[in-house]
Amino acid sequence: MTYSIGQIARMLGTNTSTIRYYEKEGLLHSINRSASGVRRFTDEDLEQLKLVECLKKTGMPLKDIRDFVNMTLQGDDTISQRLALFEKQRKNVEEQILSLQNTLHVIEYKHWYYKTARQLGSTRAVSLIPPEKIPASARIGHDLLKDNCSNACGM
């Protein structure tokens, strides 16, 4: 079974220009074309595109994705390089997750802060609450902000 570029774009939730761009940038293996030159995608092409989209979401640069695609074409001689690429990206994603967790803690604190301010009628009243009286769910965000907002917000 083969798919048109429009069908592939709909399956991925993207647009056809993105698919064309990926092909132009060398992120796809050679795409089959009909006699009239229309791209015809296979299930294997769809899986490759899903992987490209996934890697993009992790923040992997297109250059690294292209390198990965080229390494797969070279075969098993590049297994170690591919593994190193994914180890590096895994570390990057773990760092992103930690940063997002810290950001969520700050948001939880601010949510508690403004909810409490609304109940008490002012932000000043909330700022007079001693840190030990802040609920545990909000205290981490409070401490992160107190220590260093740029670390807390992943900046």
Q: Give yes or no for residue 152 having a pLDDT over 90.
A: no
Q: Are 144 and 106 in contact (CB under 8 A)?
A: yes
pLDDT at 13: 96
Q: Give yes or no for residue 154 having a pLDDT over 50.
A: no
pLDDT at 29: 82
Q: What percent of the chain has pLDDT over 90?
A: 90
Other beta carbons within 10 angstroms of residue 33's beta carbon come to 10
Q: Give yes or no for residue 155 having a pLDDT over 80.
A: no
Structural domain of residue 44, as residue ranges? 5-74
* CB-neighbour burial class of residue 108 (10 A; exposed 0-12, middle 13-18, buried 19+): middle
At 13, list the tokens. 């939730």
Any idea how long the chain is?
A: 155
Other beta carbons within 10 angstroms of residue 47's beta carbon come to 10
- φ/ψ region of 41 (left if φ > 0, alpha if ψ in -120 to 50, else beta) reads beta
Domain assignment present for 62: yes
Q: Mean pLDDT throughout 74-83?
A: 98
Mean pLDDT, the chain, integer: 93
Total domains in the chain come to 2
Domain assignment present for 127: yes
Based on the fold, state whether residues 57 and 95 are members of the same structural domain: no
| Least confident stretch, 13-22, 26-35, 95-104, 145-154 | 145-154
Give how far Cα 45 sits from Cα of 5, 123, 135, Å: 11, 55, 50
Based on the fold, state whether residues 70 and 92 are members of the same structural domain: no
pLDDT at 153: 52
Confidence of residue 70 (pLDDT cuts 50, 70, 90): very high
Close Cβ partners of 37 (under 8 Å, ≥ 6 residues apart): none
Based on the fold, state whether residues 64 and 25 are members of the same structural domain: yes
pLDDT at 149: 54
CA distance 132 to 30: 61
